[in-house]
Amino acid sequence: MIILIGGEKGGTGKSTLATNMAALRAMNGHDVLLIDADKQGTSSIWSQVRDEGEITPRITCVQKFGKNLAKDTLDLANRYEDIVIDAGGRDSLELRYAMGVAHHMYIPVQPTQFDLWALQNIDSLIEQIEPINSELKAHVVITRSSTNPSVSDTEEALGIISEFERMTILNTTIKERVAYQRCVRLGCSVIEVNPIDKKASNEITNLYKEIYHAN
């Protein structure tokens, strides 16, 4: 299965989710390839740091840009059970090509009005890609939401997002937690960091289960 973590907004947690999903998929015994389609190279650096730290399972990460992205991804899909694509935070060629070949696209959205506006553009991108890839299913993941129970940002965002008929909303919400920042720097997933942040680990495990329909 080819999954794409993408969106038009920067800093929403795309690379954080892509690297965590790749790690959890590999830890669950699957042969996974991470494709870094963002020239910033966050996922590639993460996998290098992971290699240098000899953290297992090893996650192979390749960078793919431009028009070869779609063709190469389809070729690689014959060799790997699972592909996770990390696409950059803008309406790039890479995002469009990746949307052309992915089975599922996950769009991390921060529950602020700004991100919700960007979602309008993604909605029209999905509409444009539909004739090319009718299999693509798009889902929103709320990320970096406040851990403060008195802040009702997520509920408000959910109300607005539910009006976009081309996207479903995942049940799992990723909150703003320091553990997510640490894990990317260390080349691991939040469930591999010591000491473990149980809340972050539960969130990412729930997200994994939702994405891969795992138990």
Ligand X SMILES: Nc1ncnc2c1ncn2[C@@H]1O[C@H](COP(=O)(O)OP(=O)(O)OP(=O)(O)O)[C@@H](O)[C@H]1O
Binding site for ligand X (CB under 6 A): 10-16, 38, 40, 42, 88-89, 143-144, 174, 176-177, 180-181, 184
Question: Smallest distance, Å, CB 101 to Mg ion?
Answer: 19
Give the range of 10-18, 45-53, 112-120, 154-162 binding Mg ion by CB under 5 A.
10-18
Cβ atoms of residues 106 and 170 within 8 Å: yes
- Picking from 155, 136, 137, the residue whose alpha carbon sits closest to that of residue 146 is 155
Please state, as a whole number, how many other Cβ atoms lie within 10 Å of the Cβ of residue 163.
10
Is the CB of 194 or the CB of 215 nearer to ligand X?
Answer: 194
Q: Does 112 bind Mg ion (CB under 5 A)?
A: no
Question: Smallest distance, Å, CB 213 to Mg ion?
Answer: 25
Residue number with the shortest CB distance to Mg ion? 15
**Of ligand X, Mg ion, none, which one does residue 174 interact with (CB within 5 to 8 Å by kind)?**
ligand X
The tokens describing 87, both together, are 């696409």
Is the CB of 15 or the CB of 73 nearer to Mg ion?
Answer: 15
Question: Smallest distance, Å, CB 47 to ligand X?
Answer: 14
Q: Of the candidates 3, 6, 15, 129, which one interacts with Mg ion according to CB under 5 A?
A: 15
Which spans of this chain sit near Mg ion (rule: CB under 5 A)? 14-15, 42
